[in-house]
Amino acid sequence: MGAKTLFEKIWDSHFVTEIDGEHLVYVARLFIHEGSRHSFSMLRDSNIKPYRIEQIIGFADHYMPTETTVGGVNGVKDPEIRGMLELMEKNTSEFGIRYFGFQDPDQGILHVTPPEQGISQPGMVICGADSHTSTHGAFGSLAFGIGASEAGHIMATQCIWQQRPSTLRINIDGSLPFGVYAKDIILGLIAKFGVGLGVGTAIEFSGSCINNLSMEERMTVCNMTIEAAGRMGMIAPDNTTYEYMEGRPYIPKGTLWDNAIDYWRTLPTDNGAIFDDEKDLNIDDLVPMVTWGTNPGMVVPITGSVPSPDEVYDENQRNEYIKALDYMDLKPDMGIEGIKIDRVFIGSCTNSRIEDLRVAAEVAAKGQAQVQTWVVPGSKSIKRQAEKEGLDKIFLKAGFQWREPGCSLCTALNGDLLNDGERCASTSNRNFVGRQGPNGKTHLVSPAMAAAAAIKGSLTDVRKLG
């Protein structure tokens, strides 16, 4: 049969049939959220019930209030937001779907809760109603986002039609320098190769750096595969994966666990397997990264400066730079460090896990917030763990706001918004025009860099804080 890549092994094992170049692929897990209401309407209109209810899981995250959960859903003041949450409760209850909802003790973001519950596992095809479903590829699965109609099709058939993507391996070697984190790896990768790096491809991350990352760091890298235009991002499972997974609620137990491990060990890419393309990145000299513009590819080291459109030869890109500079209210050759900010957001499916909060708290302990700063855990279980460790007290003492779990200022759909024109240092994954609020200006950074910006009131090289 020849040597196979991780992607080929999983895709081929889930392949059902092919028609005119389209593959019908079996889906092991479907994750949905409040925005999936049209998927339920499709089932009702066709008088169809979900094919495998136990493989569909719902989450309340995009519309979850993060200021307080007092009063339950009925306590949500905005009628539109309350309506979205009530409808999700109604839909999942009607069809008997497991729902990590408003009152669930393990409610959280659909790219945070499944890994910590053991729902995301190696060797699966996982689809989610959000582009950052690629996060789950950190466990050695094929995970990608889908639209509402595709989600409806999966609910009805447990399968999806897809074109088979090409493959790209990115070898990332070296050791993380002081003050540099997983967020800097993916931003550094996009800085080197551009936002079109992985257009439509299945990206496998490998190399000595990736091997030494924790599972939470791997999730951050895979999460932002989408910002590099990849269809999905994945990392082969190894002992780090199994140690993270063992004992979690949805993980196989006893003999089933042993059997699962035996299968998962067959998944990593075989020696001699051929990818359609390969790229290399060494991170030994990487420094903390900061976006300056309106897409994740507009990114430079904290030690750098805002680039000039005159340095760009491509006319379309030059025009994008001009528009971005105007929107972000920045001038060419300005130093990145020292740019004043109005807000800080530490959260999102990219950087809201316990390791992220620990790093942010370590920096927060070195000063007092100079601007309004929100810390939003990715799930209730993370919030409990952080409070058990006393991280909430560190944040509160430093003047940070400690909030409830949800997507919050990453999606800005739950009422959490930047005020008009505010500049924000954010640990989220997108810095598009208006992403965090009307005329909001977003600088993507790591949790450590966000906390440093909070206590300095400006974009700051966290390494200078010791």
The ranges assigned to domains in the chain are: 6-162, 290-465
pLDDT in tens, the chain (466 residues): 699 999 999 999 999 999 999 999 999 999 999 999 999 999 999 999 999 999 999 999 999 999 988 878 888 989 999 999 999 999 999 999 999 999 999 999 999 999 999 999 999 999 999 999 999 999 999 999 999 999 999 999 999 999 999 999 999 999 999 999 999 999 999 999 999 999 999 999 999 999 999 999 999 999 999 999 999 999 999 999 999 999 999 999 999 999 999 999 999 999 999 999 999 999 999 999 999 999 999 999 999 999 999 998 899 999 999 999 999 999 999 999 999 999 999 999 999 999 999 999 999 999 999 999 999 999 999 999 999 999 999 999 999 999 999 999 999 999 999 999 999 999 999 999 999 999 999 999 999 999 999 999 999 999 999 8
The contacts of residue 342 (CB under 8 Å, 6+ apart) are: 371, 372, 418, 419, 422, 423, 424
Number of H helices, E strands in the chain: 15, 19
The contacts of residue 201 (CB under 8 Å, 6+ apart) are: 165, 166, 167, 168, 230, 231, 276, 277
Query: How many angstroms from the chain centroid is the CA of residue 322?
Result: 29
Query: How many angstroms from the chain centroid is the CA of residue 424?
Result: 18
Q: Is domain 290-465 classified as CATH 3.30.499.10?
A: yes
What's the Cα-to-Cα distance from 105 to each of 263, 310, 344, 393, 427, rounded to whole Å? 32, 53, 27, 21, 25
Q: What is the pLDDT of residue 68?
A: 85
Q: What is the pLDDT of residue 202?
A: 98
The answer to whether 338 and 307 have CB atoms below 8 angstroms apart is: no
Q: Which residue has the tokens 């070697």?
A: 173
Q: Is domain 6-162 classified as CATH 1.50.40.10?
A: no
Q: What is the pLDDT of residue 1?
A: 64
Closest CA to 189 of 170, 203, 166: 170
Q: What is the pLDDT of residue 378?
A: 98
Number of Cβ atoms within 10 Å of the Cβ of 301 = 19
CA angle 141, 142, 148 (to 5 degrees): 125
Task: Indicate if 290-465 has the same CATH topology as 6-162.
Answer: yes
What's the Cα-to-Cα distance from 106 to each of 61, 102, 205, rounded to whole Å? 12, 9, 30
